[in-house]
Amino acid sequence: MKPVTKAVLPVAGFGTRVLPATKTVPKEMLTVVDRPALQYVVDEAIEAGIEHFVFITARGKIAIEDYFDSAYELEDALLRKGKTDILDTLKSKTPREGTMSFVRQQQAKGLGHAVWCARDIIGDEPFAVLLPDVLIQSKTSCLAQMMEAYHKVGGNIIAVDPVPDERVSSYGVIKPKPGEDFRSKKLIAMNGMVEKPSVADAPSNLKITGRYILQPELMGLLRDQAAGAGGEIQLTDAMARLMETQDFHAFAYEGQDFDCGSKLGYFEAVLAFAREHKDIGEAAQDMIRKSAALK
C-alpha cells in the first residue's frame, strides 16, 4: 500500500455566499479567531502526515500564495523587537520550502476539474483532497482519523456524516452496500454515490463532508468526465465510476464540521474555535454566555 503524502486543496471558488467580504479577500483567507480558515485545514493535513500541498487557485487568489510565503521584513521587525513568541508562531505555520505547489484552474468547470488540474503533481500516488470551505473541529484531525482507516482497508475513503433528509440536496450523498449499518460501524463499504440528489432520489442521508483519500486512477476518469449537477464536472461522478473497479469505504469521523462558505456556518465556526482557543477560550465562553442571556 503506497503512503498518502500529497493533498489537493481546491481554493479557486468565488465565495459568492459570503460576498461582499470575498470581493477582495479569498474566502479561504477569512479569519477564524486569529488565523485564516485555510490554516486550520493545512494543520489538519499536516497532523495526518501530508508532506506536499497542491493548491488549485484562480485569478484574485494571490493572497493565499503570499500567506504561505515567508515575510522577511515582518520577521526581521519582530526579531528586532524581541517578539520571538509571535515569530515562532508565524514560522511554525509556514510549510517548508518546496512542499507547496500552486496550480491555476484556468476555467471554472467544477470541483472534478479542479482536482484534475493537480494530475501532473500527483502522478501515480494515492492522494488526499480537502475542501477548505469545510472546517472540522476534532480531537484528532479528521484526515488523520481517515489515514488510520486507510492503513486498515486501503482503496478509497470518503468522510461522511448524517444530515437531516431535507438537506441531502446540498451535498454529495453515498449509497452503503446492502447490510452495512452506519450506526454500528465507523467504516462501511459503499457501492454508489450521487451529487446533489433530490430527497426522493437520495440513496441515504450520509453526506460527503469534503475529506477524501483517493487512488490516482481517478485522474484518468476525470479527464473525460462529462458535466453533471449544476453543469459542472463533478468529483462525485468520477468517483462513482471508479467504484466499478475499486473499493470505496465511507468513514464516520469524530468531530464537528462547519461550512465556512456560508454566513451562518462561518459564524458558527468562529464561535466554536474561539471557545477552544488556548488564550481567549475561557473569556470567549463567558462572552457567549452573556450574549445568549441578552434579549
- Looking at the DSSP bridge assignments, the partners of residue 32 are 35
Tell me the residue nearest to ligand G1P as measured from the CB. Answer: 172
**Minimum distance from CB of 283 to ligand G1P (Å)?**
31
**Minimum distance from CB of 82 to ligand G1P (Å)?**
43
For residue 197, state whether it binds ligand G1P (rule: CB under 6 A).
no
For residue 15, state whether it binds ligand G1P (rule: CB under 6 A).
no
* Interface with ligand G1P (CB under 6 A), residue from 41, 42, 134, 174: 134
* Interface with ligand G1P (CB under 6 A), residue from 29, 103, 131, 188: 131
Q: Give whichever of 14 and 94 is closer to ligand G1P, judged by the CB atom.
A: 14
* Interface with ligand G1P (CB under 6 A), residue from 172, 176, 197, 265: 172
**Minimum distance from CB of 207 to ligand G1P (Å)?**
5
Measured N-to-C along each axis, helices 281-293 and 263-276 cross at an angle, to the nearest 10 degrees, of: 130
- Note the Cα 8 to chain centre separation in Å: 9
Q: Which of 254, 250, 253, 239 minimizes the C-alpha distance to 188?
A: 250
Q: Residue 4, class by beta-carbon neighbours within 10 Å (0-12 exposed, 13-18 middle, 19+ buried)?
A: buried
Stretch that binds ligand G1P, among 1-9, 99-107, 206-214, 281-289 (CB under 6 A): 206-214
Q: Which residue has the cell 488556548?
A: 278
Number of residues that bind ligand G1P (CB under 6 A): 14
For residue 8, give Cα distances in angstroms to 109, 120, 137, 167, 205: 16, 12, 20, 26, 26
- Residues 60-79 touching ligand G1P, rule: CB under 6 A, are none
**Minimum distance from CB of 179 to ligand G1P (Å)?**
24
- Residues 222-241 touching ligand G1P, rule: CB under 6 A, are 234-236
Give the ranges where 2-160 is alpha helix by DSSP (H): 37-47, 62-67, 72-80, 84-92, 111-116, 119-122, 142-153
For residue 10, state whether it binds ligand G1P (rule: CB under 6 A).
no
* Interface with ligand G1P (CB under 6 A), residue from 27, 61, 113, 207: 207
DSSP code at position 192: E
Residues whose CB is less than 8 angstroms from the CB of residue 115 and which lie 6 or more positions away in sequence, other chains included: 8, 10, 56, 129, 218, 219, 222, 235
Contact predicate 154/4, CB 8 Å: no
Q: Which chain residues interact with ligand G1P by CB under 6 A?
A: 111, 131, 133-134, 171-172, 195, 207-210, 234-236
